[in-house]
Structure 1
């Protein structure tokens, strides 16, 4: 297969800092063009990476073999449906949508078009953490798991305001960091069979999950934790002891690995474990948790 010509949808900080540089430098693909909801931002980002800024998103799709998305999830889902209908493979951001209906429509569009898809969960693709997840999945026999993801993004003295967005502020830690937690717990412990959820301080959500393996897990998810207590940890426990998720170096290497995965899936026709169907399952679990919180 010749190098995939990948278009980029999005011009915000995530697209500018991670997606565009990684695609421009990747030896196996060509950054074929950029479209954004702000044409001037698309023109500036395209100029930085010596590619084309498209005024019409469907023209970008027509000129691309694949499309990477760096836009809010409920903007991503309908645009990705159109990209799939145009025959483009999909490199999606998490969550693929914030409604089950939107996620399922996207998956159906990808299936109709027979296009490859990969959802970019950072921890699933970062080399150190990806290897750890594979090792724990192979070990099996886990009694319980725990994923604590305490971000201080919206704490008074928290994260970079450049990365603030209405969808993240409105949907909170459940939808922003919840997908990361599930992307670790599900492959190791199995699919979720029941969800209990409760609201904590700020946007904090607490989840209790039962898995097909018989194990249980918990997740604490927040973007409003005080800065001094922010951080993440994932641990698994069984009769052989405790396994703790290692640290990793930023999203750059992880995104390049996700690009590799899409190229391979497009070449072979073999679905990736983190394809859009897995993205749908994550959305279903988060929507169930949100419903439990709302009805409490």
Structure 2
């Protein structure tokens, strides 16, 4: 009897454009888009035309002066823009039928964050938000493992940097106007929540208090009954900088493993977008989850503002 082997057709690459030309776009987004075997890097748009042209030329892709023309040429778009620039453009991209690979926070305004989530839902497009720890090799698997265990009593997280500490080593991110305005609460607060929430459950209450410099201290209550504390700051002494997350409970005391390499994490986020776009199953880090993160941080910001007055 003759044997006939079937063949499978490899899906067409996801034509993906990049919005943004800053340090994060140059270091992580563009290299990952260019290297991914299932992605066609379709072009670059930026608010600074000369920077967009240079980044596009570096990767031999088209540069677009009109963002809507980029949307029309793409199946998906990746964002490396300030959050409140990102949000309205994400709404337009979704309406144009583009899947969304968003940066965190998706917006710093609750209404704008909800609009992005609603736009993706209406258009039927996939959305993935690049909460780095949820995609970084090591931490991502660790988070999933702790979530499966249960029995957690409390958690604690700190994200401390010297981005705005006088005399600290210079960083390309220190020149970011939105980071200087919004501080660590909005830049690294989303990372902390993205680790704590899948393990301890939805945040049901938040209390915020200021520390030295731009430091913010959060106390969280979670749907599981567990609590967590979070310390965020960009004005710490250089010797005190670092990132750490621990969970404490019936399984003991466990700490998040170290990680490095944003490009690898962004490649994993691209994989997640591909899976969500092709399979139709929402990713846990979608625009709806990001909108909830914005709600929690906006309440913390409101409380910090009242205390500072």
TM-score range normalised by the length of the shorter chain? over 0.9
State the 1:292 CA deviation: 1.3
TM-score when scaled to structure 2?
0.94
Query: Do structure 1's residue 104 and structure 2's residue 125 form an aligned pair?
Result: no
State the 1:160 CA deviation: 3.6
Q: What residue is the counterpart of 2:196 in the other structure?
A: 185
Structure 2: unaligned runs, 5 residues or longer: 1-10
Q: Secondary structure at the match of 1:7?
A: strand
Q: What residue is the counterpart of 2:22 in the other structure?
A: 12
State the 1:240 CA deviation: 2.7
Q: Distance in 2 between matches of 1:225 and 1:279?
A: 27
Q: What residue is the counterpart of 1:121 in the other structure?
A: 131
Q: Distance in 2 between matches of 1:21 and 1:146?
A: 33
Q: What residue is the counterpart of 1:232 in the other structure?
A: 243
Contact 2:41/2:61 (<8 A) preserved: yes
Contact 2:45/2:63 (<8 A) preserved: yes
Alignment of 1:4-153 (within 5 A): 4-153=14-163
Structure possessing the higher radius of gyration over alpha carbons:
2
Q: What residue is the counterpart of 1:287 in the other structure?
A: 298
Q: Distance in 2 between matches of 1:192 and 1:211?
A: 4
Q: Distance in 1 between matches of 2:48 and 2:73?
A: 20
Contact 1:148/1:234 (<8 A) preserved: yes
Q: Secondary structure at the match of 2:138?
A: helix
Q: Secondary structure at the match of 2:44?
A: strand
TM-score when scaled to structure 1?
0.99
Contact 1:157/1:227 (<8 A) preserved: no
* Aligned with residue 162 of structure 1, among 172, 175, 178: 172
Q: What residue is the counterpart of 1:264 in the other structure?
A: 275
State the 1:159 CA deviation: 4.9
Q: Distance in 2 between matches of 1:145 and 1:99?
A: 27
Contact 1:4/1:30 (<8 A) preserved: yes
Q: Distance in 2 between matches of 1:199 and 1:170?
A: 15
CA gap of 1:159–1:64, structure 2 versus 1, over 3 A, is: farther
Q: Which digits, 9 at most, give the CA deviation of each residue in 1:51-89, with x for residues without a partner?
A: 000010000000000000000000000001000000000
List, as ranges, runs of 4+ consecutive aligned residues in structure 1 with deviation greater than 6 Å. none
* Aligned with residue 206 of structure 1, among 217, 221, 231: 217
Structure 1: unaligned runs, 5 residues or longer: none
Q: Distance in 2 between matches of 1:104 and 1:222?
A: 26
Q: Which digits, 9 at most, give the CA deviation of each residue in 1:209-239, with x for residues without a partner?
A: 0000000000000111111111111000013
